[in-house]
Amino acid sequence: MIHSGEVELALQFSLVAERGVDVMASFPAPVRMVMRQDHPLAEGDLQLTDLHPYPLAMNEQGSTIRQLFDLSCRMSGIFLEPAVSCNRFSTLYDFMVQTPGAIVACSHFSILYKARRDDLRVKSVNIEQLSQRTLQLQTPAGKRRSVALSEFIDFIRDEVSRESEAFIRDFAV
CA distances from 68 to 14, 42, 127, 132 (A): 11, 22, 10, 8
Is this prediction's pTM over 0.85? yes
Q: What is the domain extent for residue 75?
A: 30-132
What residues contact 86, with CB distance under 8 A and at least 6 apart?
59, 60, 92
**51, 13: one domain:** no
Of the candidates 99, 114, 132, which is a domain's last residue?
132
Count Cβ atoms below 10 Å from residue 171 Cβ, excluding itself. 18
**102, 23: one domain:** no
Q: How confident is the model at residue 5 (pLDDT cuts 50, 70, 90)?
A: confident
Percent of the chain topping pLDDT 90: 91
Number of domains in the chain: 2
Q: How confident is the model at residue 31 (pLDDT cuts 50, 70, 90)?
A: very high
**25, 35: one domain:** no
**pLDDT, position 37:** 96
pLDDT tens for 75-110 read 999 999 999 999 999 999 999 999 999 999 999 999
**pLDDT, position 3:** 86
Q: What is the mean pLDDT of the chain?
A: 94
**111, 78: one domain:** yes
Q: Contact at 8 Å (CB) between 58 and 85? A: yes
**13, 42: one domain:** no
How many CA atoms, within 13 angstroms, populate the side-chain half-sphere of residue 25? 19
Q: Contact at 8 Å (CB) between 54 and 46? A: no
CATH number at residue 34: 3.40.190.10
